[in-house]
Structure 1
Amino acid sequence: MTYGIERVLRGKAPGGEITMRFVGGPDGRGRFLTVSGVPVIQEGDRDLLFVASTEDPSCPLVFCEYGRYRILNEDVFDTHGSPVLAIDKAVVISRGASPRELQRLRFPAPQFNELLQNPEVAAQLKAQNMSEDDARRRYEAEAPKVIEVEVLQDVPVAAPAAQVDSRTTPDARSMPLSQLTSELQVVLRRSKRKPVDVRSIDPDAEIVPARLTVAEPQQPQARSPARRPASEAEAAESRAFEQNEYNPVLRK
């Protein structure tokens, strides 16, 4: 995913654009992959991003999905679409229902040849006894150019410190982008962390899976010998100790 950069609040950008890789998206065969915790980014989105490292194969953003704030009509919303209300002691407070525009997911419809690579589609054509040529003509005549679905975001009960306190209140008014960036700059000036110098990834580079190493099994630790059962006298003393509100019991 390539973003055009409007403004850098802290750190150093690679230029006027930055290219990052996120797991998920359309597979070109009529299916769409979403991964829990990873934001779904589409062409035309405008966001405020906290970038940690583009070299991280799991996610380039700080706290992954929580490092993304969405901008709609110059207002700011969190990764789930809840309006951002305030910044309180470096914690972003967001509450409220997501605008419908932020619940829509759009992606290009696959080409017919790509769609045939989907085993489910091939099985459906076979079940309907439809020839490939007939299916192609019908698909090219009737299929939409863009597939659009509406996604209902589940706001998590608990979230990292960067995104705390998300609840649903329909009358919440989101913070304007200009106000949020002004307050963010105050917080960022207090930060003692070294600014990050991020780089774009090569979108044509081969995705190499991580290498897994097999570690030698550890020697089992010796367990302490089992305690012998308490005697009747010890059990009676323990009961007396408990009944005496755990104060010492003097034997007579």
Structure 2
Amino acid sequence: MKLALIIDDLGYNGPIGRAIAKLPGQLTLAILPGGNYSRQVVNLGVREGKEIMLHQPMEPQGYPRVNPGPGALLKGMPDKRIRRILAHNLDEFPEAIGVNNHMGSRLTTDRSAMNAVMGVILQRGLYFVDSRTSGKTVAFSAAANQGVPRAQRAVFIDNTRSKSAILNQLRQLERVGRSHGEAVGIGHPYPETLAALRSWLPMLARKNIQLVSASQLLTPHASRAKFADKRRRIAAKR
């Protein structure tokens, strides 16, 4: 049984970001644009053999009171501007081989905006993971319609910030994985998440669980080998 675990929101807390990058196993690191520590975490993550994604800020419900941060894509932006901002953020992290959404509970329900996003991702040969921050998201289907390799989040592991609650959510991720053969979880750079992962990761082998990078759980299945090769080429440059 295979699980992928993406750690979002990296780049704004240096010590936690570095600690997560150094954890054992194939965690996937989703990096925010514009963070003071984003480049540092990317460099360390690549050296540690981790897969890198762009964690693309997108407009949430409650904007502007709820602010997705620098480099965000907003509802009502012309498609040309969406493509330009996303391309600029991707240029910041050439090591990234995938994208997932930061926030985005409003923007990911906008078919036109998601089509513009997927056009850039397809052109660059990347993949997309829908974080599913809205039950009305069309991001996964927009990716499918444009032939973008894709996956979607099954479990958020740390909506409740306590080690015991996070371990319970990791067990829920395991249950989903056993039911479907594989599953994608998402966590965040919290001290409680770091503590839970330090307890959980060493137990995976005896549970017969393989932790893989997000690119290894993509649809279509045939795209997985392509991204494994991309990761090897990036690592070889270091």
Which one has a larger percent helix, Structure 1 or Structure 2? 2
Structures share a fold, TM > 0.5?
A: no
The TM-score with structure 2 as length reference comes to: 0.23
Q: Which has the larger radius of gyration?
A: 1
TM-score, normalised via structure 1 length: 0.22
